[in-house]
Amino acid sequence: MVTGGAGFIGSAVVYELNKRGFTNIIITDYLGSDDKWKNLLGLEFEEFFPVQQMRKSIVEGGSIVADIQTIFHLGACSCTTERNMDFLADNNYRITMELALFACRRGIRFVYASSAATYGDGSQGFDDDESLLPRLRPLNAYGFSKHLFDLHAHKLGLLKHITGLKYFNVFGPNEEHKGEMRSVISKVYNEAKNNGVVKLFKSYHPNYADGESVRDFIYVKDAARMTVEICLRTDATGIFNIGTGKARSWNEVALAIFSALGTPPNIQYTEMPSALRDKYQYFTQAKMDKFLRFLPDAGVRFTLESAVEDYIKNYLLPEKRLAE
- Phi (first) and psi of residue 219, to 5 degrees: -70, 145
Question: Is 311 one of the annotated active-site residues of the chain?
Answer: no
How many other CB atoms sit within 10 Å of the CB of residue 50? 12
| CA separation for the pair 227, 286 (Å, rounded) | 15
Using CA atoms, how far residue 321 sits from 94, 312, 318, in Å, is 31, 12, 9
CA-wise closest residue to 260 among 203, 226, 223, 219: 219
Whole-angstrom distance, CA of residue 251 vs CA of residue 265: 10
Looking at residue 324, the DSSP 8-state letter turns out to be -
Catalytic residue among 142, 167, 189, 311: 142
For the purposes of burial, counting CB atoms within 10 Å of the CB of 96, is it exposed (0-12), middle (13-18) or buried (19 or more)? buried
- Report the alpha-carbon distance of residue 222 to residue 29 in Å, rounded: 22
238 phi, psi to nearest 5 deg: 105, -160
The answer to whether 26 and 108 have CB atoms below 8 angstroms apart is no
Catalytic option among 178, 199, 287, 320: 178
Determine the angle formed by the axes of helices 250-261 and 304-311, rounding to 10 degrees.
50
- Identify whether the C-beta of residue 322 lies closer than 8 Å to the C-beta of residue 173: yes
In this structure, the number of other CB atoms found within 10 A of the CB of residue 289 comes to: 12
Active site residue 142: yes
User: Which amino acids are annotated catalytic?
Assistant: 142, 178
